[in-house]
Amino acid sequence: MTDDRSGRDIYGEAYDEANEPIFSGIPTFLKLPEVDRGDLDEEDVDVGILGAPLDTATTIRPGTRYGPRAVRAASTVPSPPYRHFNIETGVDPFDHFSVADTGDAAVSPGDTRQSQLNIEDAVAEISEQATPIVIGGDHSISYPDIKGWAEANGYEDVGLIHFDCHADTGEDGLTGFEYDHGAWVARVFDDDLVTGENYTLIGPRGFWPGPDIYEEMREEGMKWYTAMEVGNMDLDDIVTDAVQRATEGTDAVWVSFDVDVMEPAFAPGTGEPEPGGLMPREAIYMIREVVKALDPEDFGFDVVEVSPAYDTSDTNSYNGGVTSGFANRLIIEVLGSMALADQGLESGDPIKPKEPLGPTGETEAPADD
């Protein structure tokens, strides 16, 4: 994506001088530059952030229309914009990529389908010039996300790695609307963009969809790891399998992350919380490893279903909340792993203590009584 540039080369003087207080200024994502979608190529942008504030395709608790705003607000805490060196992975994506906020797609609360088509157009415009990362919004946005991205790049066969409490494969969603947030996977399959063998669902649990839909999924060759299985298995085995399936014979891979895959004690700000979900360390680790194994030139990501009205530590999204902060963290982790993948690296250069971790030296034997 880029040559060997530093953050100062990419962002200029702002790299050192952008130290505005978190409560000041326009809250773009990470307070990064805002660039019009049509100017990404001219501005040499590698990754374009897009908000998709749609929630009229949700079926239980609304409120995800405020998700992009809340995630942006949470993204300003606590780090300055251009310096995100991860002490665990040893990589700073802003030393490698030029990232810009492209604003929100146009939505009309009274016209769900037209709003989705607008999102599709916005994602396509970004994808012609840069890698798209989309902040939802309810999960119905993933269909226009994937369609716009695939058509802009000429992808015919796409791999899909889907983190979610629910399969979202209902032919008519949850309430008979074919474009609701429980039907987007079915719509992607209708367009022949994804086949069952290239699809993996991570984290489902609970009571929807029912056995008939899972039987159909099995017949299609789709694969899933329930939340309980994630907790009992080696995460690397799940990652390896999902990546192999997503990349086998495909042109590109989309990763979609619904925050209701998480244990709601850690991510309460969502419309359909379900007990027994993933732990944050599990989710962050798998996202890191999945994205690191993919080609950042043929990749897209969305994080959806952040609903700040139900979140904790959120006061009108001035500083975001627990769930929006987690979504922000996921996006930065995605960028970090993209940077590693783009450089062909398994890991960065984390700073470690001089002494090895764990007990060092010999311990004295207990004295005799």
Omega before 264 cis (within 30°)? no
CB–CB of 166/214 below 8 Å? no
234 assigned ligand-binding residue: no
258 is in an annotated binding site: yes
3-state class of 100 per DSSP? Answer: strand
CA dihedral 190, 194, 199, 201 (to 10 degrees): -50
Q: Is 84 annotated as a binding residue?
A: no
139 is in an annotated binding site: yes
| Edge-to-edge order in the sheet of strand 199-202 | 99-104, 47-52, 131-136, 299-304, 252-258, 158-163, 199-202, 223-225
| 166 is an annotated ligand-binding site residue | yes
Structure token pair of residue 159: 């791999």
3-state secondary structure 236-275: HHHHHHHHHHHHCCCCEEEEEEEHHHECCCCCCCCCCCCC
* 46's tokens: 């590698």
Residue type, 304: V
**Contact predicate 220/196, CB 8 Å:** yes
What is the separation of C-alpha 332 from the centre of its chain, rounded to a whole number of angstroms?
Answer: 9
Token pair belonging to 108: 């009309």
Binding residues: 139, 164, 166, 168, 258, 260
Binding residues for Mn(2+): 139, 164, 166, 168, 258, 260
